[in-house]
């Protein structure tokens, strides 16, 4: 009788242990899934905020006169130096306030034209004037040259 009781008791403890282990593993998996879903949601939201529509791109390009808003380089400026040189200039639409910092891609006020080079320099949350203070490349030279030509 005693032996039987002991066996039942051991069995009950074992069942209890397995039950607890099972519940803990389910809980852990639920937490992992929640974290994954939250990450996915955040990624989607950032992607949505980053997106700039084609028409808005065209609008910003025209508003900024297809000119880099930091160094002032433009296709026309290069074409003036040598016919066809402007085709080598890669202009991009930049988020003034980065998407990570809450900037949106559907707000024209938050968009500007930058040349490829200035855009690479504007990593992080640098402002235009911070980047402008750093640059020491062609466009500055061209602007000086242009001024000399006018005066
Ligand atoms: Zn530039």
Instruction: For residue range 6-53, list pLDDT tens digits in order.
Output: 999 999 999 999 999 999 999 999 999 999 999 999 999 888 889 999
Give the C-alpha separation, 87 to 74, whole Å: 10
CATH topology of domain 52-150: DNA Binding (I), subunit A (1.10.30)
Give the C-alpha separation, 70 to 17, whole Å: 66
Residue 12's pLDDT is what? 95
Going along 11-130, which residue ranges are E strands? Answer: 91-95, 111-115
* All residues with CB under 5 Å from ion ligand 1: 68, 70-71, 115, 118
Q: 78, 97 in Cβ contact below 8 A?
A: no
For the chain, how big is the Rg over CA atoms in Å? 30
CA of 38 to the centre of ligand 1 (A): 37
Within 51-94, residue ranges assigned H as helices are: 54-63, 75-81
pLDDT at 148 over 60: no
CA of 147 to the centre of ligand 1 (A): 18
């Amino acid at each position: 009788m005693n032996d039987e009781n002991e066996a039942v008791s051991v069995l009950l403890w074992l069942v209890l242990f397995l039950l607890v282990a099972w519940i803990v593993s389910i809980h852990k998996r639920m937490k992992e899934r929640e974290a994954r879903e939250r990450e996915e949601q955040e990624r989607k939201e950032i992607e949505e905020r980053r997106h700039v529509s084609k028409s808005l791109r065209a609008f910003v390009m025209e508003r900024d006169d297809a000119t880099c808003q930091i160094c002032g380089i433009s296709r026309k400026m290069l074409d003036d130096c040598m016919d066809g040189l402007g085709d080598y200039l890669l202009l991009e639409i930049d988020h003034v306030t980065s998407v990570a910092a809450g900037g949106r891609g559907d707000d024209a006020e938050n968009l500007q034209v930058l040349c490829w080079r200035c855009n690479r320099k504007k990593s992080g949350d640098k402002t235009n004037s911070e980047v402008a203070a750093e640059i020491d490349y062609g466009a500055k030279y061209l602007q000086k040259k242009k001024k000399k030509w006018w005066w």
